[in-house]
Amino acid sequence: MNWIGFAGRSIIIGMVCFVAILSAASAQTIPGRPSPDQGARLASKLCVNCHLIGQESQATGRVKADVPTFREIANLDGQTSERMTVLIISPNHPMPTIALSRDDIAHVVAYIETFKTEN
């Protein structure tokens, strides 16, 4: 009878350890809230050669022909964060493919969304 009690306790302890390990692992893979500030830092390094980013885009227009400003991207009809994410992952020509983590993409999208105006 004691052996069954010991086995039962071992199973419970094993399950508790498994849940704790699973919780710790999933906590590491769940991204935090996207940061527009971090997105601005990334965009200033990676996007500025083609897109106007930041407040200067209000006054000066486009850097290159047919390359929209972040304000224009944010205010496209039907624009969503999901749509922007897909376009960053699988860009259309002439936008180059830039290897970014999911978190970095979320940060850049959050930054672009700060340019959305209310219609």
pLDDT digits (tens, 9 = 90+) for 2-12: 545 655 555 55
What is the Cα–Cα distance from 55 to 25, expressed in whole angstroms? 39
Taking 90 as the threshold, does the pLDDT of residue 116 lie above it? yes
What mean pLDDT is predicted for residues 77-106?
94
Backbone φ, ψ for residue 54 (5° rounding): 80, -175
Taking 80 as the threshold, does the pLDDT of residue 43 lie above it? yes
What is the Cα–Cα distance from 97 to 88, expressed in whole angstroms? 7
